[in-house]
Chains A and B, each alone.
Chain A
Amino acid sequence: MNYILVAYVEDKPGVLNRVASLFRRRGYNIESLTVGHTEMPGVSRMTIVVNTDEFTVELLEANLYKLVNVLRVDNVTNKPSVVRDLALIKVAVTPANRTEVLQMAEVFRARVVDVTNESLVIEITGTEDKIEGLLDVLRPFGIIEMVRTGIVAMTRGPAPISPNPPLVEAEAHFNVHSEY
């Protein structure tokens, strides 16, 4: 199944390469990986979606912690979270079917961000399912081009993803793990 991991990493050259290299070397299959800045200067946040099993995802977390530049890893798969993906979809339209496409977009709460005589660019944010749903209904009109950001995730509620400072989290994680 798909697991969602959130990793805080030091914002240094080559860190993305180290993470990607780990996935490649150990044979993990990345579904999506996004990186961006966080509220903390010098710290980036990665959201990694990986298709694997329960044991392997544990090993993957342990291996991520072994990377010196990785500060904290959280498996948010089973935590109440907001999970979002953003897509830009360029659809072919004619004067005859333009209104129909616009209505579809509205049903999915998507926004039209560019219009020409032959095309529309639709922006949609949501879960993967929702985006897949919109793509399904747009496909008959002709999708000219599509781009997606990959998943970003955040746990619900007031607390940050983990209340512990970096590494205390790692320690807690592995102790719990030790007890099963």
Chain B
Amino acid sequence: MKLTGAQIFWECLVRQGVKHVFGIPGGATLPIYDALPEFPIHHVLARQEQGAAHMANGYARVTGGVGVAIATSGPGATNLVTGIATAMMDSVPIVCFTGQVSSPLLGTDAFQEVDVTGITLPITKHNYLVTRPEDIAPAIREAFYLANSGRPGPVLVDITKDAQQKTCEFDWEGSEPHVAGYLPNYQPAESVYEQAVSMINAAKRPIILAGQGITLSGASKEVIELAEKAHVPMAMTLLGIGSIPASHPLNLGMMGMHGEAWVNKAIQESDLLLAFGMRFDDRVTGTVSTYAPNAKKIHIDIDPSEINKIVHVDISIISDLRPAVAKLNRGVQKSDHQEWIDFIEEMRAESKSRDILNIPDNDQLFVAHVIHDIWKYTEGNVVVVSDVGQHQMWEAQYYKHEHFRSLITSGGLGTMGFSTPTAIGAKIAQPEKEIWTIVGDGSFQMTLNELATIAQEKVKIVIAIMDNGYLGMVRQWQEMFYDKKYSATPLSSPDFVKLAEAYGLHGIHVNKRSEIQKAVEEARKAPGTVILDFHVVGEDSVYPMVPAGKPLDDMIQRPKNGN
């Protein structure tokens, strides 16, 4: 049967199991949009293409499936770039489609022409330029296969307008992905496992570094089994949060620049690091030369290029995490490291004495209080999409995530404006889930245009703005390292409650801690999206903090009884 390229496009998406796509139409995607109503796919109209890419990100992150974003050529395509780079850094499987000028016009600087495959080359796992209708189905099948196999990542398919318009025989079976140069999974030799097992059995102060690989691989059960059997405490990376329940007695909490002091100290004192699906980001290691100086290191990652990239390791296991840890579990002995655990608990007690939660409620609103209370009154049961900045770190510290895939945040790229569109994508993927965003007043204003998408799609989420009148994290660095010269960080905002009303949504001001419970309950009960505008203390800082370029245990601690 002959179909147009545009029809083939949608037919392929339907067969890939796609139910929702996020995008904005334009001149170079008109044939695709013309064919859309024939197919059982819901198109969510974003307000800017970056939003569409983030929505696809949220869709993928909450489900583990592939999110799809569509943009037109030129500016539509370039607007996707931030969203694609965000997905690349966090290994998120999204497929982005862009329209392109007709093939005879390629390279002529035609209206709305941009070399999007060139632009996105370093920020995609792979990309395609398709100029013939015959190539659409193979490119789409390969794109979905590549995006969500091995180490996931974004794939972009650029389709010229004439390829969308021309017809050809549609051949689904003949378009089976065949990617000669791609090996998603490796099978390490048995001897590597034997060495790793004997290293684990010999360790006295082992610690697991739990990364997002646990979530991507679905390895929670196996990692917990290893931790319990070999009695190994677990430290979370930012994206590792949610992969292991926060209440697990061996879960220490977050590591790194704003990680808990006892976690960082435990890493530095450790004699064996078990790095599971994490990549030793500079926000996690501090100075590499002084990182965990006495520890042997075992690194399990699916991506060979992560091995010895930052930290040189003693044993590397290049594999999907779940089968690799399952194999270790067969050889690992039951151990008791109570002395080591007690040592960490002692450090935890000292740090906890400085905790902001010990500061009496003096009617000022602190973000840590707000997030703690949101956690308490939502019973820790919601999916949180956090944005980027101070609130992101406080969220990671004070919202206790019990559930798999319950924290979605931009870790690697640190993309401000991430939360609102990402939450929309997550909610559309899983409408039965309660989705909250935790966002700063600066981040929120970067993508607040997507409130219109929320209104049009009648999506119900809760947006909790930590409104401190600053670009808070930059202000914190200015306070600590730039003589309190607050250059360009004070920030004015509209009345977010009135703004919510302008979009037909509901907004609530919160000024005191005593008002939090009622506001949270009202927001949860409301039928539509609610913006909670928390007017928090302006010049609060996230503690503890490892200054950039300092050893991991060289932390600035919160002063006792202060803020």
Contact = CB atoms under 8 A, between A and B. Distances in A.
Interface of A: 9-10, 13-14, 17-18, 21, 25, 55, 58-59, 62-63, 65-71, 166-167, 170-171, 174-175, 177-179
A178 B122 contact: no
Residue from the set B118, B181, B317 with the largest chain A CB neighbour count within 10 Å: B181
A180 B4 CA distance: 54
Nearest 9 Cβ contacts at the A-B interface: A62-B305, A62-B304, A71-B181, A68-B126, A178-B192, A167-B183, A63-B305, A175-B189, A174-B304
Contact of B309 (A25, A59, A166, A177): A59
Interface in B161-190: 179-183, 186-189
B308 A59 contact: yes
Given A62-B305, A68-B179, A179 B192 contact: yes
Interface of B: 117-118, 121-122, 125-126, 129, 146, 179-183, 186-189, 191-192, 195, 303-305, 307-309, 312, 315-318
5 contacts: A59-B305, A65-B183, A68-B146, A177-B318, A179-B189
Given A17-B118, A55-B308, A68-B146, A171 B187 contact: yes
Contacts of B179: 68
A158 B305 CA distance: 32
A51 to B, nearest CB: 19
Contacts of A14: 117, 121, 129
B180 A166 contact: yes
Contacts of B180: 10, 71, 166-167
Contacts of B189: 175, 178-179
Contact of A175 (B118, B129, B186, B309): B186
Given A25-B122, A66-B303, A178-B318, A167 B181 contact: yes
Contacts of B146: 68
A69 to B, nearest CB: 6
Nearest to B314: A180
Contacts of A179: 189, 191-192, 195
A109 to B, nearest CB: 39
A67 B179 CA distance: 11
A178 B316 contact: yes
B183 A55 contact: no
Nearest to B317: A178
Contacts of A17: 118, 121
A10 B181 contact: yes
Contact of B312 (A9, A18, A55, A65): A55
A18 B121 contact: yes
B313 to A, nearest CB: 10
Contacts of B191: 179
B308 A58 contact: yes
Contacts of B182: 68
Contacts of A71: 180-181
Contacts of B188: 174-175, 178
A67 B318 CA distance: 17
Nearest to B306: A62
B187 A178 contact: no
B135 to A, nearest CB: 12
A70 B305 contact: no
A178 to B, nearest CB: 5
Nearest to B183: A167
Nearest to A173: B304
A69 B182 CA distance: 8
Given A177-B316, A178-B315, A62 B181 contact: no
A162 to B, nearest CB: 14
A166 B178 CA distance: 14
A9 B181 CA distance: 8
